[in-house]
Structure 1
């Protein structure tokens, strides 16, 4: 019988570790399970139905491990699956007492504060960009901000395959940045709207003028979770607090996941394999 009730952190691969590390710094006392669907990554180029199916399968798996609260540390999943999960799936499956949160709304609430010109560039997967989620959400909180989007379909595969630090990645980073900046010369803030992209942050900054602000989501999502738990004391009381963390991945060979996770966590990471259907 499951007695601990950890917070679940989900991503299509390793990108969510950038968010998880920030959450751990802000809330180290809780138990956590991180689940990366690396075997089926990247999600960004997949159909709406497939992204929803994969995300919901992984969320249910985290529920079965005892997680009453799951964070989708994935922009594509947040853009394509979160609303359906929140509004339909939880009730249909009898999970009315569970909660699933995403990364888009917390980011949209504050991103306007970073820009002086009020011209913001959003870098994301095809799924996130095509959903228009940031266009819709940012205007709610900062109607004066103009948003320009650029899909970067090759960035996640580079990261998931451990190629992002090699010189060959530089060409694709510059290519997408040039396409984005070609839309508006007054952009002064770039939102890394994929939790994988902070792993490219230094290479991205090397292609930009010094006055640019490059925004990653980790601290934003962590601050939002702190606020959520303060406002929802009934959920906070349910969460177990033994400061444990467990890692799972759908890829057969977990060694690549373990090695990449070592960039974020001081202790050795030993992920367990989980087999999914698709």
Structure 2
């Protein structure tokens, strides 16, 4: 296993599968390992330190499986752990490894989707409270005004497969209304959680037609393709056998059933016990 050089894709649960689905479609030739930390999901309401420790443990586990490159397909982990890992862990412990997130690729292109220069961001409490999108978008587009809205009920609804039920409509409309009440000039909304694409059909029935809805799946896939093109030294380390292995820290049978909804095809996973799973 350790000789299998794969691209690692990590999420706190199932949401990262929406990103991985797009990555695997765009770059099918590579080997991948997907790891969902389902035993400790959701990350959104945990403290900064807890999210950092959980994320680091999962990244190091993927490194141990032979992944020279890991994608944090989780906005909360990208917001609260990525920078610390990149600046304080990789240079000293893993100088030949790389970890990338989902926030920067989105921030780099959001300006192409707004005419009013007023953008909304919808995410978990952890992502919103980190203000990572505010900071990243401001780096690339200082003229854009960003309003944020936390949506604490969306992930639980999706994780419990209740997002397709009529009862979910209330919470979809509630958070959209609260965001638009903050700024009625918003013409682009970023779905800053990889779970949220499963709510897109409901969101579109509520959202005014002039507002662009920006998901992250294709954005992250395109960004990874460009990264690999620009870093052949990394690309050369990744096996091209079109193989994928799924792992979860939770119950594998439960994961397989739910993951198939997110991934769009049958998923068969293996359970792995993390040291801090019971925390």
Measured against the shorter chain, the TM-score band is: over 0.9
SS of 2:143 mapped into structure 1: coil
Partner of 1:247: 246
Shift of 1:70: 0.1
Segment of structure 1 superposing worse, 103-112 or 205-214: 205-214
Query: Alpha-carbon deviations, 1:44-96, whole Å to 9, x = none?
Result: 1100000000000000110111000000000000000001101112234x211
Query: Where does the alignment leave 5 or more consecutive residues of structure 1 unmatched?
Result: none
Shift of 1:266: 5.7
CA distance in 2, matches of 1:91, 1:147: 33
1:219 aligns with 2:224: no
1:170 aligns with 2:181: no
Sort the Cα spacing of 1:267 and 1:185 in 2 relative to 1 into closer, same or farther, 3 A: closer
Native 8 Å contact 2:15 2:262 kept in 1: no
Query: Alpha-carbon deviations, 1:15-70, whole Å to 9, x = none?
Result: 00010011011100000000011111110110000000000000011011100000
Instruction: Give the number of equivalent residue pairs.
Output: 276
1:124 aligns with 2:123: yes
1:152 aligns with 2:113: no
Partner of 1:273: 271
Query: Where does the alignment leave 5 or more consecutive residues of structure 2 unmatched?
Result: none
Partner of 1:109: 108
Partner of 1:22: 22
Segment of structure 1 superposing worse, 76-85 or 155-164: 155-164
Shift of 1:186: 1.2
After superposing on structure 2, the runs of 4+ consecutive aligned residues of structure 1 that deviate more than 6 Å are none
TM-score, normalised on structure 1? 0.96
Partner of 2:48: 48
CA distance in 1, matches of 2:146, 2:248: 34
Native 8 Å contact 2:23 2:220 kept in 1: yes
Partner of 1:72: 72
CA distance in 2, matches of 1:140, 1:265: 33
Partner of 1:202: 201
SS of 2:236 mapped into structure 1: helix
